Amino acid sequence: MKLILLGAPGAGKGTVAKMLTELDGAVQISTGDILRGAVKAGTELGKQAQDFMNRGDLVPDDLIMGIMEDRLQEDDCAKGFLLDGFPRTIPQAEALKELLARIGVKLDMAVSLDVPRDVILDRLTTRRTCSNSDCQAIYNTKSSPTKVEGICDKCGSPTIQREDETVEAISHRLETYNEKTAPLTGYYEKEGLLMSVNATSSDAVVAAIKERLGN
């Protein structure tokens, strides 16, 4: 399957993407994870992206397109991909359309994960992420806590609250989302590719996608 996952921060794009990779070997491509990896590794890309990310602002489109141009042409994408956190702006969506046409790849659909704002706020402030960049397991202090507080179940590293998950950075990310990313649902509707789902439950989202794709 070749899907775009759309939705506000905290809508569950990462969780749904992980569940979908287990179905047919499609790879999850998260621009957020790629950028955080670059920041941690101290690469040129990381240096350029870091300040935007910590403020909760979007990283400039040309940096993102540079990443995706390479990533989508790697061999593992042939089986399929789940784009998680990309595209985030109309110019990125237009550039993606041009890129996919150029490399001869056809998208199945863009799935919009719809979640009420109060649920989003609650999920984001209670989210904890494993600090080990090879693991990045995601927990939630209320709905899926670690067995030992503050320690990743999978690898034993400390879990942390991301720097962009303070209440202020979150409000700013949601504003940015409403202004820059929410218009993408209209864009993909016009393209005839949009599927909207109520995403309060990630299991229900995965079931609805499977049904729509006919497997």
**Which residues are known catalytic residues?**
13, 88, 127, 162, 173
Please tell me whether residue 17 binds ligand ADP under the rule CB under 6 A: no
Report in angstroms how near the CB of residue 53 gets to ligand ADP at its nearest: 4
C-alpha to C-alpha distance for 17 and 30, rounded to whole angstroms: 9
173 forms part of the interface with ligand ADP (CB under 6 A): yes
Q: Considering the complex, state which of residue 14 and residue 80 has its C-beta at the smaller distance from Zn ion.
A: 14
Within positions 23 to 52, which residues make up the interface with ligand ADP, using CB under 6 A?
31-32, 35, 52
Q: Which residues, 142 to 201, sit near Zn ion by CB under 5 A?
A: 152, 154-155, 157
Binding residues for ligand ADP, rule CB under 6 A, total 17
Choosing among ligand ADP, Zn ion, none, which partner's interface includes residue 85 (Cβ < 5 to 8 Å by kind)? Answer: ligand ADP
- For ligand ADP, which residue has the nearest CB? 32
Pick from 94, 84, 73: which is nearest to 4 by CA? 84
Strand order in the sheet with 159-160: 138-140, 127-130, 159-160
Any contact of residue 12 with ligand ADP (CB under 6 A)? no
How far is Cα 167 from Cα 172, in angstroms, rounded to an integer? 9
Least distance from Zn ion to the Cβ atom of residue 146, Å: 9
Q: How far is the CB of 107 from ligand ADP (least distance, A)?
A: 16
Per CB under 6 A, the segment of 40-48, 83-91, 132-140, 191-199 that binds ligand ADP is 83-91
- Cα(47)–Cα(179) distance, rounded to whole angstroms? 25
Positions in 119-148 near Zn ion (CB under 5 A): 130, 132, 135, 137
Binding positions for Zn ion, rule: CB under 5 A? 130, 132, 135, 137, 152, 154-155, 157
Binding positions for ligand ADP, rule: CB under 6 A? 9, 31-32, 35, 52-53, 56-59, 64, 85-86, 88, 92, 164, 173
